[in-house]
Structure 1
Amino acid sequence: MTQPVQARSFDAVAAAYDAHRPSYPPALFDAVEELAGLSLAGARVADVGAGTGLGTARLYERGARVTAVEPGDGMAGQFRRSLPDVPLVRGDGNNLPLRTGSMDLITYAQAWHWTDPARSVPEARRVLRRGGALALWWNDGDPSVDWLVDQENRMRVFFGAEIPAVPSHRARFRATLPDGLDFRTRQVPWSRRVPIDAHIANLATHSDFLIGDPAAVRGFFDRERTSLEALFPGGEVEEAYLMSLAVAHP
């Protein structure tokens, strides 16, 4: 499967994505303001790869004059239902449909890895005003929480990937960042409590599962639910996240 196929796989599950994917904590946006050297209130922000608007909504709540950029039909449709008052344009980070020098900040909420940095970095430079900032962030399971590490390892086995001998969250994050930019980074821990079924539904919106064999994926989730019910007899799990943020002035 190609990366574009994975990226567009979300369109078929846009409503479930919007309902079950985790949002972002206020501390993340405090860190964005600090590292970018700007206030979100009144800032002109492009949220690229906005999806259903989970990150866009938080930027809008902080007073940003935010424009969302999203290529997928299903995701854009859900975005418009969720955030009808926020401007949305169709496109992606490799060819931004935005004016040169029009933005104070460009954000990618778990979407940078779908771009080609050879194209998306020059596009960010073009669209940002002088002194503007590029902010990239990801929600990942906290590698200090044993049950989440065990679950990630089961997923890696399912997808035929190697299990790291030592958790290397920071190294993997750094490897995702494009070369040639001077990034300042921050990690923001946070968590949320959800029913086991909601946790499974969140996992099911990830692209590797979306493009997998449906019967095999159902079998994996059945086994995972049984494992989690034994581990958490109360029926709820606390999803612990470690947000990785990188901000540069390209």
Structure 2
Amino acid sequence: MYRQRDRADSFGGGARAYDQHRPRYPEPMLDELVGSASLRVLDVGAGTGIASRQLLARGADLVALEPDPRMAEIAANHGVTVEVATFEDWDDAGRMFDVILFAQSFHWVDPAVALPKIRRVLAPGGRLALAWNRLFPVEPSRADFAEVYRDFLDAASPLVTATPTGGTGSGMDSADVVATIEAAGFAVQQHTYERGERYSSQQWLDLVFTYSNHLVLSADRAADMRRRLAAVIGDGGVQVGGDTLLIVAQPV
């Protein structure tokens, strides 16, 4: 997905909505990553600093890295130390980190470039962590929404085919991610944290319209799609299922 620059670069235009509506990360996941220790953390593709703020509250010594200045500005306004660059182009200036986190962002970097750099920047005993919130509608179902999405999105989109998204919720297959990381010389563990909640119609639509395949639509098409999705939901809201996937890796 890192080659789809129109989607990768779309988030800044919806930065405030992203900050407001994207889900936070479960506390047990933060326990696994940092506990309450003052670890040095690099949050790559930090967006508006959602994960960064949660980790700072745990006492982490954190630097956030975000390529979009509009997203970075919001993170900075929340008190996050942000450097504006892509990970591939970022100058680490000799710094090393105990945890390098990609929260909802590993699919936007080139792994052939990123993984060797991660190995170099990780402190001895340090860990790479990749996290994705994998939320999906249960009632109405994927198939119910696919009736609308097929008129707006590419036919191969999981939202159109109403099939699971391949393991990360981002279009990347988690087995492929693990294989790629292992091939770069890391030992990998996976953790999942179950989620389930009910969203109002507006809450669900506000969330999905922070996704890149929604953000790249023209204003007219986005408004039309939102109206039709709202009609599918009706007055009952959306029952949401899923989990948060955490992949943790250490150099071997």
Shorter-normalised TM range: 0.7 to 0.9
**Structure 1 residue 227: Cα displacement:** 1.1
1:18-33 map, 5 Å: 18-33=19-34
8 Å CA contact 1:47, 1:109 repeated in 2: yes
- Shift of the 182–137 alpha-carbon distance from structure 1 to 2, 3 Å rule, reads same
Structure 2 Cα separation of the partners of residues 66 and 6 of structure 1: 27
Specify the alignment match of 1:78 in structure 2: 74
Structure 2 Cα separation of the partners of residues 135 and 128 of structure 1: 11
8 Å CA contact 2:139, 2:239 repeated in 1: no
- Shift of the 152–187 alpha-carbon distance from structure 1 to 2, 3 Å rule, reads farther
Specify the alignment match of 2:44 in structure 1: 48
Moved over 6 A (4+): none
**Structure 1 residue 152: Cα displacement:** 6.2
Specify the alignment match of 1:184 in structure 2: 189
Gaps in structure 2 of 5+ consecutive residues: none
**Structure 1 residue 218: Cα displacement:** 1.7
> Quick check: 1:59 aligned with 2:52?
no
Specify the alignment match of 2:208 in structure 1: 203
8 Å CA contact 1:90, 1:97 repeated in 2: no
**Structure 1 residue 59: Cα displacement:** 0.8
SS in 2 for 1:170: coil
- Shift of the 110–166 alpha-carbon distance from structure 1 to 2, 3 Å rule, reads closer
Structure 1 Cα separation of the partners of residues 53 and 129 of structure 2: 16
Specify the alignment match of 1:147 in structure 2: 140
Select the residue among 204, 208, 224 that pairs with 1:219: 224
Answer with 105-114 or 56-65: which moved more: 56-65
**Structure 1 residue 155: Cα displacement:** 6.6
Letter in 1 for 2:40: R
Structure 2 Cα separation of the partners of residues 170 and 201 of structure 1: 23
Specify the alignment match of 1:36 in structure 2: none
Structure 1 Cα separation of the partners of residues 41 and 148 of structure 2: 35
**Structure 1 residue 72: Cα displacement:** 0.3
Length, aligned pairs only? 238
**Structure 1 residue 175: Cα displacement:** 2.6
Identity %: 30
Per the normalisation by structure 1, the TM-score is: 0.84
Deviations 1:142-174 (A, max 9, x none): 58x353533564576341234568646438222
Answer with 185-194 or 199-208: which moved more: 185-194
Answer with 86-95 or 20-29: which moved more: 86-95
Structure 2 Cα separation of the partners of residues 210 and 194 of structure 1: 20
**Structure 1 residue 3: Cα displacement:** 1.9
Structure 2 Cα separation of the partners of residues 154 and 127 of structure 1: 46
8 Å CA contact 1:95, 1:119 repeated in 2: no
Structure 2 Cα separation of the partners of residues 50 and 159 of structure 1: 27
8 Å CA contact 1:196, 1:237 repeated in 2: yes
Query: What is the Cα-based RMSD across aligned positions, in Å?
Result: 2.5
Specify the alignment match of 1:170 in structure 2: 167
Structure 1 Cα separation of the partners of residues 29 and 148 of structure 2: 27
- Shift of the 199–237 alpha-carbon distance from structure 1 to 2, 3 Å rule, reads same
Deviations 1:36-94 (A, max 9, x none): xxx4521000000000011111111111111101110110111112x22x311111221
SS in 1 for 2:187: coil
Per the normalisation by structure 2, the TM-score is: 0.84
**Structure 1 residue 202: Cα displacement:** 1.0
Specify the alignment match of 1:69 in structure 2: 65
> Quick check: 1:11 aligned with 2:12?
yes
**Structure 1 residue 190: Cα displacement:** 1.8
